[in-house]
Structure 1
Amino acid sequence: MNPITTSYPVNEIFETIQGEGFYTGTPAIFLRLQGCPVGCPWCDTQHTWEQRAEDQVPVAQVVGKPSASPLWAALDAEAILATFQAQGFNAKHVVITGGEPAMFDLRELGETLEAAGYQLQIETSGTFALQVTAQTWVTVSPKLDMPGGYLVRPDCLQRADEIKHPVAMEKHIEALDKLLKSCPPNPAAIICLQPISQRPRATELAIKTCIERNWRLSVQLHKYLHIE
């Protein structure tokens, strides 16, 4: 009997520079998965929220497609690795994003890519149980009081290598403080504040708070450079 393999709904595969958080500036392959019920109002990838059968296409149509397209392809771990190799990607850092990638069991994918020499990072809202390899770098961007009604899970914060929090106003920092007090995170986790939409007041607040608390600033470098 053949072993059961996991299929992943892939919205995008592209190579670029990681523009956020701890790995800012690192060459990276982005693997964007389709599907997210969290419903963040400011989300810039709302085209990934729904996984509709009529939007499923062959992998050739998701590699290099327009970013804001809801098209997706079903690929298993070996097919994803083969796509990386066929595209001639040089980066060895793979960012699994979405959508909400933690909706899926990523262990098989992680094991396959790590065996081929890749390092994995997952970007998650922290609202689903993590199914990742022990070596995967976990970036939790906690989404609080979003329309989907999902709660940030304590186990996600305890597993986090990095907590990257979007801020625009003081209340967003207060909400993060409340969350970290009620759900103590991994003591070694790096905390990054990320100004929402690069707004000047949000950026000023984030810089001030990072200096006061010895946190890090995440400025979405890719948006300043006008790259994907």
Structure 2
Amino acid sequence: MAASTTPHPPAALPVVETFHSLQGEGFHAGRSAFFIRLAGCTVGCSWCDTKHSWPERSHPRLPLAELSAQVGEARRMGAGFVVITGGEPLHHDLAPLCRQLAVQGLPLHLETSGVDPLRGQFDWITLSPKRHSPPRPELLQRCDELKVIVHHEDDLAFAEAMALQAGSGGPSPRLLLQPGWGSRTGERLALEYVRRHPHWRLSLQCHKWLAIR
């Protein structure tokens, strides 16, 4: 997948929303976090719960300085880290944003499908690879957390293939299987697989159960 070609300087980015909440899923679930959801995604997952974030031009561009100020306020209110998500955030060059946010002193986490080059410095990378649009090898090597969504049996074989590649070049990432929301088949498959394969851990979307963002 090509990165965004929108001819705008990186002093602003298209933003769907920002909010202070709890991380609802993955390895850091339950921790206080500030979220920056960027617009634009061409990966096109049929089960995506943020399809409104796909069209980049439908959302306002916010100055990086404004985003930094929001992060500073969230830090004062107790946020423990910043999550940059989407959409697909790596459609954008995130290096300027990372530099801008670094002054606030909070760890920067990235949530990505890994289809584009990594640009920016992050303290934690959650890679959620997709079978129909596999990630770049360098993202597999760099990720701290590999989180695979499970709807069908084939997703389990894909998860193991991704885990094998992710662990081939250095420290192995945390491995998580997450049932697709509302997929009873995904729930059954993920539960049974984690029960039999202790190197995997179950991830649940707690924020949806709690009806929070």
Give me the TM-score of the superposition, normalised by structure 2: 0.86
Structure 2 residue runs without a partner (length 5+)? 1-8
CA contact (8 A) 2:163 2:175 kept: no
For residues 201 and 218 of structure 1, the distance between their equivalents in structure 2, rounded to whole angstroms, comes to: 15
Q: Share of identical aligned residues, percent?
A: 39
For residues 116 and 182 of structure 1, the distance between their equivalents in structure 2, rounded to whole angstroms, comes to: 34
Residue 29 of structure 1: how far off its partner (Å): 0.8
Aligned counterpart in structure 1 of residue 68 of structure 2, from 81, 84, 95: 81
Residue 118 of structure 1: how far off its partner (Å): 1.0
Q: Could you say if the C-alpha distance between residues 17 and 206 of structure 1 is closer, same or farther in structure 2, counting changes exceeding 3 Å? A: same
For residues 97 and 192 of structure 2, the distance between their equivalents in structure 1, rounded to whole angstroms, comes to: 39
For 1:225, give the aligned amino acid.
Answer: L
Q: Tell me the residue number matched to 2:212.
A: 227
For residues 156 and 169 of structure 2, the distance between their equivalents in structure 1, rounded to whole angstroms, comes to: 16
Residue 103 of structure 1: how far off its partner (Å): 1.1
CA contact (8 A) 2:140 2:165 kept: no
Q: Tell me the residue number matched to 2:3.
A: none
Aligned counterpart in structure 1 of residue 21 of structure 2, from 16, 22, 31: 16
Whether 2:35 is the aligned partner of 1:30: answer yes
Whether 2:135 is the aligned partner of 1:152: answer yes
For 2:86, give the aligned amino acid.
Answer: G
The alignment partner of 1:116 has SS state of coil
CA contact (8 A) 1:31 1:94 kept: yes
Aligned counterpart in structure 2 of residue 208 of structure 1, from 192, 196, 202: 192
Residue 115 of structure 1: how far off its partner (Å): 2.2
Q: Tell me the residue number matched to 1:59.
A: none
For residues 221 and 180 of structure 1, the distance between their equivalents in structure 2, rounded to whole angstroms, comes to: 24
In the alignment of these two chains, the number of paired residues is 202
CA contact (8 A) 2:141 2:165 kept: no
The alignment partner of 2:181 has SS state of helix
Give me the TM-score of the superposition, normalised by structure 1: 0.81
Structure 1 residue runs without a partner (length 5+)? 56-71
Q: Tell me the residue number matched to 1:93.
A: 81
Residue 20 of structure 1: how far off its partner (Å): 0.7
Residue 85 of structure 1: how far off its partner (Å): 4.2
For residues 100 and 219 of structure 1, the distance between their equivalents in structure 2, rounded to whole angstroms, comes to: 21
CA contact (8 A) 1:113 1:119 kept: no
Q: Tell me the residue number matched to 1:64.
A: none
For 2:51, give the aligned amino acid.
Answer: Q
